[in-house]
Structure 1
């Protein structure tokens, strides 16, 4: 049996021209362009596992994936893989680091948290042209205090069914341990949300619900009130994809904990999509 080496890839991408992360026949995807480049270098098809399967239009500065490469190929490519991928992968996706990890590292199930940021401009003139691909324009003034009041009610472990696209045999219970808004010096409002995992469309649904509280159209406690629902709330407007960026994925500091974390995640939730 061929010996394999597990390799962690740290990935960034501008999601504007991708149909999401996952490989889809006939569509341009982030995973597709990376595995195509790896196949050229390795001389054989390569499967890839990712921490968070981002939707079409969503960006990443801190995405993590892993691949199992033939040990002989990795030995030849280890010192040059990042540079070689830089020449083969299109410029709106980058593999910034590639290094061997223990075989029980799982980019998806070993993760302890995912952290996203969502950028919103409420300036009357819209969004700075150079940031139009990662920032949305909101047509009404937003109150930072109201946004954070709405966010506070969503922190903790809850059933987020109202904010998720439900999948068969998958739970919508998630534990958000950080959800807060800030206004940067340029006036842009940035939501930071961190959880052990997210279900599909959850982050953008949370943002959509908080925005209508932040501009006064709904009470600040309205988003938290939706947590009592056991079906998706149709009155939530899902925020546009291009304002969302995956900025970090966390893992146990001790590599010996990779397998334990992965086993615990699988037992807790089974197969889950990441937002």
Structure 2
């Protein structure tokens, strides 16, 4: 997910319910993003169906960040509220039983009861993504072809690293976001680093949150610098814009993976959710 939606309500608690935190991983290649869509395979759709099949109880998931079509995750987080007695019956065998009903490109890697104050979306401190690409003539390594994008030109990583450093901090990233009605484009970019290992380049991006297509647009701008088509200061120069920059390319979805979501300690969860809701309102 690169982005958050202000119209997604938090799940209510009470009435003998427990809040369950789920760890989730998926290969997004054949999935149409996170959010359920009629007639399309999505991560949310597959998970809610799988959970309902195992638990024999309707499930509604709230996710840390909605990823776009084709984007992967190894560290996605969601929560749901379930009857305490029902979860107690299934907890010990839930992951194994889900493995039997979920498709092979979606997995639940963890499920545990957490504080009622935990909110997968509003409680998050930071989201961490990795974008992998290769400029090797032979293309991606066969065993990594699902999560590594191919690039046809040699990229100069030192120039990309300089450009990335100029984008850090709290900025209005309107130039890099697809506009959502009523949604802010101000984000705090905590880390944006570029490294090379042989022919494979990794771009690591961390922020309090990302708006729609922001990570892939940042990667696209850095690639333009790496190819020598733009100077290192060009990506940062776009931060003065109040609308999306038409000349910023969007990198292919298949290279992007959500790897981790950070949360505060339990005693700070409620306060964090209040702060985040105020910012998104």
Is the structural similarity TM-score above 0.5? yes
Q: In the alignment, which residue of structure 2 is the partner of 1:221?
A: 233
1:2 CA displacement: 4.0
Residue 243 (structure 2) pairs with residue 231 (structure 1): yes
Q: Secondary structure at the match of 1:256?
A: helix
- Residue 249 in structure 1 maps to residue 261 in structure 2: yes
Q: Secondary structure at the match of 1:39?
A: helix
Structure 2 unaligned residues grouped into runs of 5+? 1-13
Quote the residue 1:269 is aligned against: 280
Q: Offset of 1:96 from its aligned partner?
A: 0.7
Tell me how far apart the structure 2 counterparts of residues 66 and 57 of structure 1 sit (CA, whole Å).
22
Offset of residue 190 of structure 1:
0.1
> 1-side partners of 2:19 and 2:95: how far apart?
15
Distance 1:133 1:115 in 2: 19
Distance in 2 (alpha carbons) for counterparts of 1:216 and 1:74: 55
* Superposed displacement of residue 41, structure 1: 2.2
- Quote the Cα distance in structure 1 between the aligned partners of 2:57 and 2:88: 16
SS of 2:92's equivalent in the other structure is coil
Distance 2:55 2:143 in 1: 37
Structure 1 residues 66-87: Cα deviation after superposition (integer angstroms, max 9, x where no partner)? 0111111111011111111111
Whole-angstrom distance in 2 between the partners of 1:209 and 1:266: 30
TM-align CA RMSD: 1.0
Q: Does 1:105 align with 2:131?
A: no
Any idea what the Cα deviations from partners look like across 1:125-160, whole Å, max 9, x if unmatched? 222222111111111111110010110111111000
2:45 aligned with 1:36: no
Is 2:215 aligned against 1:203? yes
SS of the residue corresponding to residue 224 of structure 2 reads helix
Q: Which runs of 4+ in 1 moved over 6 A?
A: none
Q: Equivalents in 1 of 2:46, 2:170: separation in Å?
A: 36
**How many angstroms apart in 1 are the aligned matches of 2:50 and 2:99?**
9
Match 2:28 to one of 15, 23, 30: 15
Please report how far the alpha carbon of residue 189 of structure 1 lies from its aligned counterpart in structure 2 after TM superposition. Answer: 0.3
Give the match for residue 3 of structure 1: 16
Distance 1:2 1:144 in 2: 55
Q: What CA distance in whole angstroms lies between the structure 2 residues aligned with 1:91 and 1:35? A: 15
1:20-69 CA-partner distances (Å, limit 9, x unpaired): 01111111011111110111122222100000100000000100000111
Q: How far apart in 1 are the matches of 2:269 and 2:137?
A: 48
Among 117, 121, 124, the residue aligned to 2:134? 121
Structure 1: gaps (5+ residues): 271-275
What TM-score results when the alignment is normalised by the length of structure 1?
0.95
Compare 1-10 and 14-23 and name the one that shifted more. Answer: 1-10
Q: Who is 1:53 aligned against?
A: 66
SS at match of 2:112: strand
- How many residues are treated as equivalent by the alignment? 268
1:26 to 39, 63, 77: 39
